[in-house]
Amino acid sequence: MIHAVLIFNTHGKPRLSKFFTPLPPLVQQSLISQIFSLISDRPAGVCNFLDAPDLVFPTPGVSEKGKEIGREKERREEDDTRVIYRHYATLYFVFVVDGAESELGILDLIQVFVESLDRSFENVCELDLIFHFDEVHHVLSEIIQGGLVLETNINEISACVQAASRNRKASAASSNPLIPSALAVPGGRGGSRGGSADGARKWLAAIGV
Amino acid sequence: MFERTLQDLIRGLRAHKASSKAQEDAFIAEAMVEIRQELKGKDMALKAEGVLKICYLMMLYPIPAPPEFAFHVVEVMSSPRYHLKQIGYLAAPMAFSGDTEEVVLTVNGIKKDLMSPHVPLPPIPLTALPHLLSLSPSLSTTLHPDLLHLLTHSSPRIRKRAVLCLLPCWEAFPEGLREGFPRLRERLQDSDQGVVGATVGVVMELARRQGGKNYLPLAPELFGILTGSTNNWMLIKVVKLFAILTPLEPRLVRKLLPPITSLISSTSAISLLYECVRTCIVGGMLDPDRAEGEALARVCVEKLGGYLRDEGGDQNLRYIALLAMVKIIPTHPAMVAEYQDQIMESLDDPDVSIRMRALELVTSMVDRENLQTIADQLLSHLAPPEQNTSALPSAVASLTAIANQLSPTAAKDPTITSTSVSLSPAYRLLLTQKLLSMITHDTYVNVSDFEWVISLAIDLAYVSHVDVGENIKSLVLDVVGRVKSVREYAVGVLEKVLGDEDLRARGRDGTGEDGLIEAAIWTCGEYSSYLLSPLSAISSILSPTLHLSSAPLISSSIQASAKIFGHYAASISSNWSSDKHDEAKALVSSIKSGLEPFLSIGDIDVQERAFAFNQLLSFVQADLANHVAPTKRISSADNDMPEIEGGFADSSQKDDDSSPPYPKSLFLFEPLFTSHELNAVAYKAQEAVRIPEGLDLDGEIILGGGFGAISEDEQSEEEKTAIDLGEGGGEGMEELRRVLREQDRKGKRREGETKEERAARRAARKAKHKDDPYYLYDKNDNEEDIDDIPIVRLDDTEIVVEEPTSKAKGSGKSKKGKGKEKEKIKAPPPVFDRQGELPEGSTSDHQIKAKEKPDLRRSNSGLAAIDLTTSGQRTPKSIAPGRYEEYKVDDDLPERIIAPKLGADEVSQQKHNDDLPVASPGQIEVVKVKRKKKGETKKKKKEKQIIDG
């Protein structure tokens, strides 16, 4: 299964962190920074798999860290946790998975995730992810649920995403005028994106997605 | 009042990013205060916004959730509005931890949302549910029926989400699996591909957690997906799932081969192709017993080799090719060996991930022929660039080379990228450990030249720069202990190591060179007869900088120098002259001065050894001083050493008539160390010591704590007559047998005694020992007959364990094929003691029952305890798991699948049909266990009854 899906930028700032294995928040953050430092050391053009002997990822069922280190290690051997990542412009998309997942399949899945984001944001860039982190979660929830893959068909995924956002809109429109702008979905987003200059805008277009 | 939205918060954070840390912290603190207000307020929209902001902040910063955050989340979750509810469920996994009361509070809300007739609603709780279920077992129990209900929801989007929720639900509530399994099985036939895909994913996870046994019955459905589907993701999952199932049911292989080979040849997706190849390997389809196994293996290896060869192409493919090749090695090492060049190239790859995989692969492909090549190449990674060409096998050469250029060898040449990568400490450590384990693998089964091993160990210590000292030490000691022929060489090179002050200096930094030095010291001491120059060896062992080293190193140094001195002293006696006299005197005084600093050192072990050695040397010194070189008179021992003098008195008396021309104290040291040659001891030796007949280690020594009455055990003596002593096994065995027989006779002789005689004998003995404090007797007049305890003589002469050696030879030979006759002559398998010493009388193939290790991985999960092949209501009487004779030739597969729709009587009729022998033995469909089916039909009947009632 998929233990975690992470997005962080080239400076290590998390843009999305979703752990399907229950872990305390502090452990999550230390894992993110560990994985980031390992990945950012890797030069361009190397493979997308991270073999990290020193990365300890607590596997399911052993949420209390340090309680049974020995057993945890043993399980780790068997579970064969691995980190698979892709680098798009300023962002790293990282999946932490176990032996049940196909390495190349996960690479394809990352691509599916990115394309789905692209469809939902229209030329997605880092800023979109920053300001709409809830939307990113919604897209992810249409692809992966509880660490298992829900859907891999991009058309189906974006149809679900759109249906959900329509529902949100309808629900918000009928409520009082004090609508939190975060919930005013795709339309309200354009303005927030306009001004800022940082972040690679067309990073997805650049790699031909 | 102005409310800050999430967007505003993010803008604020970004604005403060450039400013100081303190300002940023202040901003966050201010925001947190606001959020707390919002959370406490009545406005649900504001509350939801607050929850969302907390989630964002918690992702970025290590801040704790505000108090009662979970309660606020529960409130938002229960909001009737879709967009607010979604925020609540989004935050729930972050807010809840453990089986807290908040989770309990949510139960009814979740139930209501799940059962909502409004179609967009159920996906929201389903999204968050896996996390919540894994937190709370009670939630799983409660929601299980609802989830099963949702499995038949009209919307496929809800069905597939519900399927995925079943996994965490059953994890927490294993009993649910029994009830839900048939329902899950139906989903494999779902009309919607997405639902089927999700179901396959769940089955895959279940099979991984439980072992595939329960899921073999699903094979027909899975097979249908494999042949019918075009969704690559699903095909990958199914193929991977079959990799788990086939080892359990070999007959599946025959069925699977056609579709998998057609996938391999037809698919354009490399990921699917790769998984097919991997399943062939892992699923045991390459079994050489099968006709097609060899050809399939050839195809697989060629595909993988193609990935590997693809220069400048996809690095990912090279990585996974290496990954899969590791799996193929055990069955087809020769095929992988064809790609050795590519694999070795991968070791030089700039990518550490690929290197590590290559390293693992290389480690497992080592055999007698390529060990040296591979090891030398690995070593060249560790060595600085200049070393690459002159690497080995001459340790001496590389020693001098290193001695010449020495010091910060690392990171000299950054232009060579591959070398600079190899210098990361974690990688170096791994590399070194793999290298060592490669050599020691299966007690040196691949080693043909032990001199090379010694020189490699020395090189490793010099170039590795990581803390593997202990490993190197045990390797060197093990080799010199086991391989007699290598000792001379080892002492030769290690003697040079001892003189390397620079190495010592590095060793003191704790980087692992100490291990080699310790091994060198011990080896030179133990096998001092091979030393070229004992004098210089002693002086380098007791080097002026020794006091800087660690205590264990010092104490072994002292011990070793004592051994060398002993050997030296004994050897100079043979051609004793006045020159030698002077030399010996000088040596003794120099050792004494070398020992000086350690007489007052803090470590107690070092101090004790230093004192003992020093005192003995004082005696020798005095003896030497009194000795007049060539005279015939024996120097009497020194006055102030009365004990030692006394000790020597008896032995010297014999020699009086032919007094040697040398001082006898020269022989003081040698016997201390040479009485028994040290050999490798088999690790089972202790267990193999036979418990003497009649000795019961578990029984109480004195029954009843010493107060009970003991009846005389006559039977044990009778049993003793029936010892089967066997025959053969060399001198040691003969000796043992003789001893045992003697005792047997003794025991029998005793039997002739009458009871009265024995009692009298005992009474007499008891009276004799009455006042002796060293004899303990019970108050009662009962005692064990001491003669009943057999005595096994422990002989400390060396036993030549013939068998192990010949076995080692044999295994060495068998490794080589018939066609490699030449090779065999060139490098005969070295004679070495693979097994180690065993005590007398124990056969070398003595089997100690290996304690079954408790199978942790399968037993710890609650889910693993569920065995679907045994239904809950029945007692598993005829069930032997793994007996697949119950599979039967079966053609009525489609009927079976629609079985749930049949009425009760039809089911029973079908059951009846199943029991009939099927005439046509056409294709064997691996369908399902018969007994399982009965259980299922029974359940169906039950369900039917419930519906009827």
Residue-by-residue DSSP string for B293-362:
HHHHHHHHHHHHHHHHH-TTS-HHHHHHHHHHHHHHTTT-HHHHHTTHHHHHHHHT-S-HHHHHHHHHHH
- CA atoms of B560 and B538, how far apart (whole Å): 8
Listed residues B91, B117, B146: the one ending a domain: B91
User: How is the beta sheet containing A49-50 ordered, strand by strand?
Assistant: A14-19, A2-9, A91-97, A82-88, A49-50
Residue B183 lies in a domain: no
**Chain A contact for B114, CB < 8 A?**
no
**Residue B395 pLDDT greater than 50, yes or no:** no
ω before B393 within 30° of 0 (cis)?
A: yes
- CA atoms of A135 and A164, how far apart (whole Å): 10
B880 and B836 in a single domain? The answer is no
Residue of higher predicted confidence among B855 and B237 = B237
Check residue B151 and give its pLDDT: 92
For residue A129, the chain B residues in CB contact (below 8 A) are none
Check residue B235 and give its pLDDT: 92
**Chain A contact for B232, CB < 8 A?**
yes
Q: Which of A41, A46, A69, A161 to mutate to test the interface with B (most CBs of B within 10 A)?
A: A46
**pLDDT grade for B58, boundaries at 50, 70 and 90:** confident
Structural domain count of chain B: 5
**Chain A contact for B116, CB < 8 A?**
no
Domain A2-206, CATH among 3.30.930.10, 2.30.130.10, 3.30.450.60, 3.20.20.20: 3.30.450.60
B474 and B604 in a single domain? The answer is no
pLDDT tens digits, one per residue of B931-944: 444 444 444 455 44
For residue A14, the chain B residues in CB contact (below 8 A) are 59-60
Distance from CA of A28 to the nearest CA of B (A): 9
pLDDT tens digits, one per residue of B260-300: 888 888 888 888 989 998 888 888 788 777 777 788 888 88
- CA atoms of B363 and B431, how far apart (whole Å): 10
Check residue B730 and give its pLDDT: 57
Question: Cβ of A100 and B240 within 8 Å?
Answer: yes
SS3 A7: strand
**pLDDT grade for B658, boundaries at 50, 70 and 90:** low
Residue B874 lies in a domain: yes
Q: How many helices (H) and strands (E) does chain B have?
A: 45, 0
Helix axes A133-143, B44-60, angle to 10 degrees: 80
Listed residues B678, B709, B736: the one ending a domain: B678
Option in A22, A104, A171 nearest B274 (CB) = A104
Is the alpha carbon torsion for B294, B300, B305, B308 positive or negative?
A: negative
- Tell me the Ramachandran region of residue B466: left when phi exceeds 0, alpha when psi lies from -120 to 50, beta otherwise: beta
- CA atoms of B376 and B138, how far apart (whole Å): 59
Is the alpha carbon torsion for B736, B739, B744, B745 positive or negative?
A: positive
Check residue A100 and give its pLDDT: 86
Listed residues B91, B113, B147: the one ending a domain: B91
Check residue B774 and give its pLDDT: 63
**pLDDT grade for B65, boundaries at 50, 70 and 90:** confident
**Residue B416 pLDDT greater than 70, yes or no:** no
- B102 and B71 Cβ atoms separated by less than 8 Å: yes
Which has the minimum average pLDDT: A3-12, B166-175, B312-321, B421-430? B421-430
Residue-wise pLDDT tens for chain A (209 aa)? 898 999 999 998 899 999 988 888 888 888 898 899 888 888 887 888 887 655 666 554 433 333 333 344 444 444 578 899 999 989 999 999 888 889 899 999 999 999 999 999 988 888 889 899 889 999 999 999 999 999 999 999 999 999 999 988 888 887 554 444 444 444 333 333 333 333 344 444 444 44
Check residue A161 and give its pLDDT: 92
pLDDT tens digits, one per residue of B759-788: 777 777 767 666 665 665 555 555 455 555
Domain definitions of chain A by residue range: 2-206
In this structure, the dihedral spanned by the alpha carbons of residues A112, A114, A120 and A121, taken in order and rounded to 10 degrees, is: -160
- CA atoms of B296 and B628, how far apart (whole Å): 85
Residue-by-residue DSSP string for B177-224:
HHHHHHHHHHHTT-SSHHHHHHHHHHHHHHHHHH-GGGGGGGHHHHHH
Q: What is the maximum alpha-carbon separation in chain B?
A: 120
B465 and B388 in a single domain? The answer is yes
pLDDT more than 70, % of chain B: 66
In this structure, the dihedral spanned by the alpha carbons of residues A158, A161, A166 and A169, taken in order and rounded to 10 degrees, is: -140
Distance from CA of A88 to the nearest CA of B (A): 16
Check residue B148 and give its pLDDT: 92
Residue B610 lies in a domain: yes
For residue B7, the chain A residues in CB contact (below 8 A) are 131, 181-182, 192
Question: Cβ of A25 and B58 within 8 Å?
Answer: yes
Chain A: residue whose CA lies nearest to B195 = A150
B420 and B527 in a single domain? The answer is yes
- CA atoms of B676 and B679, how far apart (whole Å): 9
Strand A49-50 with A82-88, pairing? antiparallel
C-alpha angle B91-B92-B97 in degrees, rounded to nearest 5: 125
B599 and B643 in a single domain? The answer is yes
| 3-class SS letters over B484-497 | HHHHHHHHHHHHHH
- B127 and B161 Cβ atoms separated by less than 8 Å: yes
B923 and B814 in a single domain? The answer is no
**Chain A contact for B418, CB < 8 A?**
no
B380 and B459 in a single domain? The answer is yes
Residue B393 lies in a domain: yes
Question: Cβ of B3 and A178 within 8 Å?
Answer: yes
Residue B421 lies in a domain: yes
- CA atoms of B124 and B597, how far apart (whole Å): 78
B459 and B568 in a single domain? The answer is no
ipTM score of complex: 0.79
Check residue B126 and give its pLDDT: 92
- B931 and B226 Cβ atoms separated by less than 8 Å: no
B394 and B486 in a single domain? The answer is yes
Across residues B89-105, what is the average pLDDT? 79
B388 and B523 in a single domain? The answer is yes
Name the burial class of residue B335, with classes exposed (0-12), middle (13-18) and buried (19+) by CB atoms within 10 angstroms of its CB.
buried
Could you tell me the CA-to-CA distances from B304 to B256, B317, B324 in Å, in that order? 21, 8, 8
For residue A156, the chain B residues in CB contact (below 8 A) are 194
Expressed as residue numbers, the domain containing B824 is 791-850
Residues 6+ apart with CB under 8 A from B614: B592, B595, B599
Residue B117 lies in a domain: no
Check residue B331 and give its pLDDT: 83
**Chain A contact for B3, CB < 8 A?**
yes
Both structure tokens of B578: 């006045």
pLDDT tens digits, one per residue of B466-484: 878 888 888 888 888 888 8
Q: Which of A134, A138, A156, A198 to mutate to test the interface with B (most CBs of B within 10 A)?
A: A134
Residue of higher predicted confidence among B749 and A192 = B749
B561 and B672 in a single domain? The answer is yes
SS3 A10: coil
B388 and B522 in a single domain? The answer is yes
